[in-house]
Structure 1
Amino acid sequence: MNQPAVNSFAETGALWAVMNEDDAKARQIVQDMYPNERAEFAAQLDRLRALLTDRFGNDIPTAGPRIRVLDEEGRFLAR
């Protein structure tokens, strides 16, 4: 896989690995971090999650109308 330059920070490397379903690589990156770095990264991820969902895990409504891209079976409606 041709990987973009995301490894300037351990955090972006770990996130990239997760996004590419490479949990072993993400685990390795996180384990190589110092405890205070892991705590800071966890806090950053918590802030990011708060931007995505409410405290119950429900999607936060956006200001504009939502566009439906999947049908009832999870297939893309159009490409």
Structure 2
Amino acid sequence: MLRWFLNCLLLLFRDRFVQTGTLLGLIAGLYGAQYIFSPPEVAAPALAFIGWGLGAYFGYHRPSLTLRKRKPKLKVHQGGR
């Protein structure tokens, strides 16, 4: 069960954009809770989830900035060559 949980966590946070967005959202929720008039226990997970979503969005729409910079090589069989 623990292995399944860790695999899910690694799958959710494998992209650099997602990691950064979640971390920034969590920090903003902890230290900026008084500005949005909410307790830190509510603001931190909410803003971390919003940061995770923004990181997933940017990671999907800007694949050139993710960890995998090389495109996969596809080899096509060309008959007798």
Q: Same fold (TM over 0.5)?
A: no
Q: TM-score, normalised by structure 2?
A: 0.28
Question: Which structure has the higher relative contact order (CA within 8 Å, separation 6+)?
Answer: 2
Which entry has the higher C-alpha Rg, 1 or 2?
A: 2
Q: TM-score, normalised by structure 1?
A: 0.29
